[in-house]
Amino acid sequence: MEFEAVIGLEVHAQMLTDSKIFCGCSTKFGNEPNENTCMVCLGLPGALPVLNKKVVEYAMKVAIATDCKVAPLSIFARKNYFYPDLPKGYQISQYELPIAEHGRISIDLDGKKKVIGITRIHMEEDAGKLIHEGVGEDTDCSYVDLNRACVPLIEIVSEPDIRTPKEAALYLKKLRQILVYLEICDGNMEEGSLRCDANVSVRPVGQEKFGTRAELKNMNSFKFIEKALEYEIKRQIHTINNGEEIVQETRLFDTSKGVTISMRSKEEAHDYRYFPDPDLVPLLIDDAWYNEVKATICELPDDKIQRFVTQYKIPEYDAEVLSSTKQLADYYEETVKHTDDTKMASNWIMGDILRELKNDNIEIDACPVSPKMLAEMIKLIKDGTISSKIAKTVFEEMYRSKKMPDAIVREKGLVQVTDSGAIENMIDDVIAANPNQYEQYKAGKDRLFGFFVGQVMKLSKGKANPKLVNELLKKKLT
Amino acid sequence: MSLCNMAISELHELLRKKKISSLEITTQYLNRIKQTDDKINSFITVLEEDAVNHAIEADKIISKNDDFSALTGIPVGIKDLISTKDVRTTCGSKILHNYSPPYDATVIRKLKENNAVIVGKLNMDEFAMGSSTETSYFGATKNPWDTDRIPGGSSGGCASSVAARQCAASLGSDTGGSIRQPAACCGVVGFKPTYGRVSRFGLIAFASSLDQIGTFSIDTRDCAIMLNAVCGHDPADSTSAKLKVPDFTKALVNDVRGMRIGIPREYFIEGIDAEVLKAVNDSIELYRKLGATIVDIDLPHTKYAVAVYYIIATAEASSNLARYDGVKYGYRAKDANDLLDMYCKTRTQGFGAEVKRRIMLGTYVLSSGYYDAYYLRAQKVRTLITKDFRDAFEKCDVILTPTAPTAAFKIGEKTSDPLQMYLSDIFTISANLAGICGASIPCGFTSDGLPVGLQLLAKHFDESLIIQAAHTFEQNTDYHKKLPDLG
């Protein structure tokens, strides 16, 4: 029997607000334990939450960017459970009536668009962190750091529209890209500012009814998400083929072994006893506020790609790569302000620039070559001052020294030789220096042509116009 | 001259004329506490040193200014669930017996801004769960009128301390009658403002949608003075109302002519003590004589109020009290084997029986599969009860009822029967469910010499009407002038 997987993702994104969701404490990462705390986020008796307006606006932005319906009235609820990192004994979240519902994100699946539905988006507070010491020893103990408690999160829940681990990864990448574009989340999965849980089930192809699902946790990178899903899907298919039943449960991904392990069964699942938080009033969003927030939303990746294709006449692939981050897209647009050759600009950015940045492990913002410098260099290529080959040298020097390209060309004497007389002289020298090869070529060994081109270029220190060298060599050798 | 027996307004006048100092007043009250509190146990914590220092500070302000707030230098007591910075705030519970908040509740900040002198923290039913102040970890409080009897609850210490003149006034909280019922039992004025009128920031929550801070005082004028100090919007409490607060002393008008006073038939039920009923009926007659229009009104969903209350209040409490887990502050059980064991032992040992009973009830009604049948349905009925009042206030300005079905009962009389205990609040609960304001004022005495309370209710943010009706009643009676004799 052939099976297909049904996957839904629950993504938690940490909002980049300066202060926490229900108090004025800083959200700064890396401070001393419990430095960023007050009576509210410590859950002291009598302290009350006050909603951070910025968090609502960030959630609205995500909702608008994913085509969700923003609710004119939403409410906060308490999710009750005991754990030492949860100072109030409940997490303030949204349950019934979340801030937004019914959206979508489209992913590019081998050239085809696939739409993944968004069930809901809601706001909630993060929990703190436990630090364990001396595990397994007599002196073992745990410390509670509540700096992260009450840091704003939004949870984005997808419809069970995802069918493969690859689709899951594409969806997550796209969602991450939107969040980063909106500048409301840094998207860092390793540091936990973007976290992903998955609901996975399998069913025979053609069957409409969903199979029993497992919830997967602890997948803190794109790689692990694909691996965990692949493993889990195989495990479920294997279980069914063995004539066993799938158990509804929560499973943890063991990153070192690459397997998922049962964490708790449905029977052990918490009853969170959600109910509306009486300390917070219903959140009302009117048209004026909605429109105000909507107006602040930047151009999103999909729109940008389309615009790049039309405006700059570059292939969709180029537009996609260039739009992968807002900063890269801005870099490209700044570059083509100074040069007409939009495709050559695209090639240089996608090729040499991205390669160098990757080697140095830096972002485009820190690129030593400014858009202006790159455009200047492209101009030098276009007006024949330097060859594309020389341009590689110029680029490397530019990247290293941050000098303008024309200065580099001048200093290093890299101006292209386009004087046919000079090139002919060089060709004569090469033929004179290589009589054997010349004889062999004459005798019909055509592939030695390249050898002569190489020798001439070498003699010119790469500066000879390659096109001219070709033309003139052909004449001389026949 | 016993300063303790004077009203705040009288003390203020003497302070203004520089005839006495706050230190003298405060010293007298502290002595009074020393002389009487072993008999009635109003206080969990007496702040002798702090009070003296604050009195000296107040005297400095008084000496420099002719115009100072009505509470400057006046000794007040605070129910022990209102957070006071660096002063133990226990909620009458073992689980918080050693907890000192690092911050002041908004109302405490306001009292301090008014240079009031806080003399101590007052006893209460554990986490405000009770109607008799018998469930406190710090022992029961006794009624100053008869020390074999309860002072009412949960703000029993607030009522007894004001009645026994251990402080000039006090701040308490009312979730289902916890101000009005003890005020009735102890023969003082207890006022529960409209939900949202007073900031709850720093009030340790029992049931967040019902809790409201209010006042105890010897008369309505003092009540208005206290309300003026603590009411008002607070950005730190999302449920506090963004409304201007009137000067409540402006409502101290001796006139009820044309005021429509509604009498809900549902509140005059079987089971009301005959002497209570007589005192209330006499009060109605007095109002009629003073020119008020007495109208019959209906509050048809009254019979569901107690049931609805015990679902909503316990549901919220089960969540509000989850933070007392032994991890961060308060009591932690020793010798726990693991985390779950620590939780269980801490909460088993730290909470008393009534609190545990309500946590279990509340946990149950919120449980998956029961939520719709209990919590959700209770919320719907709550809406109907609120609507009852809205309709009733079309026909009347103020609603008059007995505060409690009986005068103060004997200590231990109802501790073994929680349901009987819950019925003590049968007339007060609805006001919390609807969020409206209400007060209890002294309206007579039983043949045993126990005070009887008259409840006055008004619609949201109509506190001034209650103050006017109560003040008029006082001006034409002298029940409020009688004080218990504690020797």
Give me the domains of chain B, ranges plus CATH numbers: 3-259+396-481 (3.90.1300.10)
d(CA B214, CA B234): 15
Query: What average pLDDT score do residues A116-136 get?
Result: 92
Residue B1: pLDDT band by 50, 70, 90 thresholds?
Answer: low
pLDDT at A451: 86
Q: Please check the confidence at residue A60 and state whether its pLDDT lies above 80.
A: yes
pLDDT at B120: 98
Cα torsion at B11, B13, B16, B18 (round to 10°)?
Answer: -70
- What is the value of ipTM here, to two decimals? 0.95
d(CA A115, CA A109): 10
d(CA A303, CA B299): 60
Q: Which residue from A298, A306, A287, A388 is spatially nearest to A347, judged by alpha carbons?
A: A388
Express as a percent the part of chain B with pLDDT over 70. 100
Non-local (6+) Cβ contacts of B428 within 8 A are B174, B176, B177, B180, B181, B403, B404, B438, B455
- Taking all residues of chain B, what is their mean pLDDT, rounded to a whole number? 96
Give the chain A residue whose CA is nearest to the CA of B365. Answer: A273
Q: Which residue from B467, B444, B462 is spatially nearest to B286, judged by alpha carbons?
A: B444
What length does chain B have?
Answer: 487
Q: Which residue has the tokens 């103050």?
A: B467
Work out the number of other CB atoms within 10 angstroms of the CB of residue B192.
32
Domain boundaries, chain A: 3-292, 310-406, 420-477
d(CA A363, CA B150): 73
Helix (H) or strand (E) holding A356: helix A354-360
**Helices A388-401 and A405-412, axial angle in degrees (round to 10):** 110
Q: Which among B102, B323, B339 is the nearest to A43, CB-wise?
A: B323
Contact B343 A271 (CB under 8 A): no
Query: What average pLDDT score do residues B340-363 get?
Result: 96
The chain A residues in contact with chain B (CB within 8 A) are: 39, 42-51, 78, 80, 82, 84, 87-90, 144, 271, 273-275, 278-281
The least confident of A121-125, A384-388, B309-313 is: A384-388
d(CA A465, CA A418): 6
Q: Which residue has the tokens 């052909």?
A: A474
Residue pair B476/B286 in contact by the 8 Å Cβ criterion: yes
Express as a percent the part of chain B with pLDDT over 90. 93
Catalytic residue (one of B22, B69, B79, B94): B79
Q: Using the 8-state DSSP alphabet, how is residue A134 labeled?
A: S
Q: How far is CA A37 from the centre of its chain?
A: 31
Residue pair B212/B193 in contact by the 8 Å Cβ criterion: yes
Residue B131 annotated in active site: no
Helix (H) or strand (E) holding A276: strand A275-276
Q: Please check the confidence at residue A310 and state whether its pLDDT lies above 90.
A: yes
Looking at beta carbons, which residues of chain B come within 8 Å of A45?
A: 83, 89, 91, 96, 99, 101, 204-205, 323
**Helices A371-382 and A388-401, axial angle in degrees (round to 10):** 160
Looking at beta carbons, which residues of chain B come within 8 Å of A89?
A: 319, 321-323, 325
Tens digit of each residue's pLDDT (9 = 90 or more) over A8-37? 999 999 999 999 999 999 999 889 999 999
Catalytic residue (one of B22, B160, B170, B178): B178
Give the chain B residue whose CA is nearest to the CA of A88. Answer: B323
Burial B405-420 (b: 16+ CB within 10 A, else e): bbbbbebebbbeeeee
- Taking all residues of chain A, what is their mean pLDDT, rounded to a whole number? 90
B270 CA to chain A: closest CA distance, Å?
35
Q: Which residue has the tokens 């018998």?
A: B134
d(CA A378, CA A334): 14
Catalytic residue (one of B42, B69, B93, B154): B154
B-interface mutation test, from A44, A95, A97, A284, most B Cβ less than 10 A away: A44
pLDDT at A311: 92
Size of interface A-B (CB pairs under 8 A): 101
A148 CA to chain B: closest CA distance, Å?
16
Looking at beta carbons, which residues of chain B come within 8 Å of A274?
A: 366, 371
B92 CA to chain A: closest CA distance, Å?
14
Give the chain A residue whose CA is nearest to the CA of B342. Answer: A84
Residue B417: pLDDT band by 50, 70, 90 thresholds?
Answer: confident
pLDDT at A373: 87
The residue type at B474: E
Tens digit of each residue's pLDDT (9 = 90 or more) over B178-230? 999 999 999 999 999 999 999 999 999 999 999 999 999 999 999 999 999 99
Residue B178 annotated in active site: yes
Pairing of strands A249-254, A214-217: parallel
d(CA A104, CA A432): 70
- Give the Å distances, CA to CA, from B3 to A89, B6, B22, B54, B227: 47, 5, 10, 18, 22
- Give the Å distances, CA to CA, from B292 to B124, B259, B442, B457: 37, 5, 19, 15
Residue pair B426/B305 in contact by the 8 Å Cβ criterion: yes
Give the chain A residue whose CA is nearest to the CA of B200. Answer: A46
Work out the number of other CB atoms within 10 angstroms of the CB of residue A252.
17
Quote the tokens at residue A49: 């939450």
Tens digit of each residue's pLDDT (9 = 90 or more) over B426-436? 999 999 999 99
CATH topology of domain A420-477: Arc Repressor Mutant, subunit A (1.10.10)
Residue A457: pLDDT band by 50, 70, 90 thresholds?
Answer: confident
The residue type at B187: G
Residue A17 zone, left/alpha/beta (φ > 0; ψ -120 to 50; rest): beta
The residue type at A50: V
Pairing of strands A100-109, A69-70: antiparallel
A-interface mutation test, from B78, B104, B201, most A Cβ less than 10 A away: B201
pLDDT at B93: 98
Q: Please check the confidence at residue A388 and state whether its pLDDT lies above 90.
A: no
pLDDT at B453: 97
Contact A45 B208 (CB under 8 A): no
d(CA B466, CA A157): 51
Query: What average pLDDT score do residues A24-52 get?
Result: 95
Residue pair A58/A154 in contact by the 8 Å Cβ criterion: yes
Q: Which among B101, B327, B375 is the nearest to A44, CB-wise?
A: B101
- A289: Cα within 13 Å, side-chain hemisphere: 15
Residue B419: pLDDT band by 50, 70, 90 thresholds?
Answer: confident
In the three-class reduction of DSSP (H, G, I as helix; E, B as strand; rest coil), residue B113 is classed as: helix
Residue A136: pLDDT band by 50, 70, 90 thresholds?
Answer: confident
Q: Please check the confidence at residue A156 and state whether its pLDDT lies above 90.
A: yes
Give the chain B residue whose CA is nearest to the CA of A138. Answer: B337
pLDDT at A149: 96
pLDDT at A296: 94
Query: What average pLDDT score do residues A368-395 get?
Result: 84
pLDDT at B35: 95
A-interface mutation test, from B366, B367, B383, most A Cβ less than 10 A away: B366
Q: Which residue from B407, B406, B404, B480 is spatially nearest to B441, judged by alpha carbons?
A: B480
Residue B161 annotated in active site: no
Is pLDDT larger for residue A430 or for residue A68? A68
The least confident of A34-48, A363-377, A404-418, B188-202 is: A404-418
Is pLDDT larger for residue B111 or for residue A134? B111
B209 CA to chain A: closest CA distance, Å?
5
Beta-ladder partners of B120: B46, B77
pTM above 0.95, yes or no: no
Cα R_g (chain A), whole angstroms? 30
